[in-house]
Structures are given as structure tokens and as C-alpha cells.
Structure 1
């Protein structure tokens, strides 16, 4: 993410959520809640607003929180956890790591390329 602006936060969140939904074939009706965390340097907007703007996500509970600001952690990083009622096993779920966040789990980030 380039800057700590509401536009950049919304765009990055929308991109991340869209990729998670597409890769895992998620229907909002199967989602119990979404947790969204941001690093301490992203405070211009609530990323949950970007999820609310998507059709069908009106009634899904959303929670925004700050990551623990550990020295050396990634700057300007948005992470999310979607809790879904699914029949998929742990190894079938496609995790999404974009841009600089691929360093968090390079093994899972590579799945997208396979």
C-alpha cells in the first residue's frame, strides 16, 4: 500500500477480500464474521467500510483491530480472517498473501502461482 489514506485502505481491503472470495468460492451467507487487522501506521479509515460496500455483505459482523506493533513488522499491512461454514479441509483453503505480505507465509503465497 502506497499511503495511509482512506482510498488506499479501501482499495487494498477490497482487493484482498475479492481475492479470498474468488479463490475459496465464498458466499456471504456462509460467513459468520470477518476480522480485519491493520498495522499501527494505517489509521486513516476503517477497512470494514470497504467490505460493507460490497453487495451481500450487509449483515456479516465485521471487526477491525490493530496488529501488535512489534519492531521490524511489515509496514502498512492489512490482514483478514474470514470465518466460513465450509466442508473444505484445512489444506483445501486458499490463503491469500499479496504484495509485501507474501513474506509472512511464502509457502502459502506460492500456491497462487501453482
Structure 2
């Protein structure tokens, strides 16, 4: 007999976020890092230089926002939400196709 662990189906999370969410936070940090290089070096926010604020504080604030945003939602919600923005929209299957001008099926007359 081999013992089977009961925690095989547990969710893997870090700071309450899934792996995909942490990838989003890292991507936000990279974008903020790029934007910080285009900002004037003398700008300050709350006494912190703006480039440091954008590189570290904004992604750190994104983690609690994502935790609150995803509260009560199923696993993979953020990935499905992003996919829904980029997926083609099909509103109704009965609607006539505006790009299809020729009949798709041609019936032969006898």
C-alpha cells in the first residue's frame, strides 16, 4: 500500500495570488520601470522620487488590488477576462455576415 497525500488538489498561491496574477504584477513592474526612465529625475511623490515610486510602489500596490478584485471569483478569472477582451465577438449566430457577400452553399438547379 502506498500512502496518497490528500493535498494534491490544493491551489498553489503566493500572497493569495495565482501564478498568472504574479506574472501580471511582474509585467506591470517592467512597464513602470520603462516609464520611469522617461520621467524627469526631479519629480517626487510623497517624498519618494517618482522613478522609485513607479518601479516598486505601484506593483506593490497592485497586489492588494488584485487580491480584492479576485475575491470570490473562480480560479483563472483574470486569464479568462483578458482572453475575453482579445477574442472575436460573436453576438448572434443568426445574424447575417457583413463580410460574406456570396452564398456559401450554392444549390444546383435541375
Q: TM-score range by the shorter chain?
A: under 0.3
Return the TM-score normalized by structure 1. 0.24
Higher relative contact order (CA 8 A, sep 6+): 1
Richer in strand (by share) = 1
Return the TM-score normalized by structure 2. 0.25
Richer in helix (by share) = 2
Larger Rg: 2
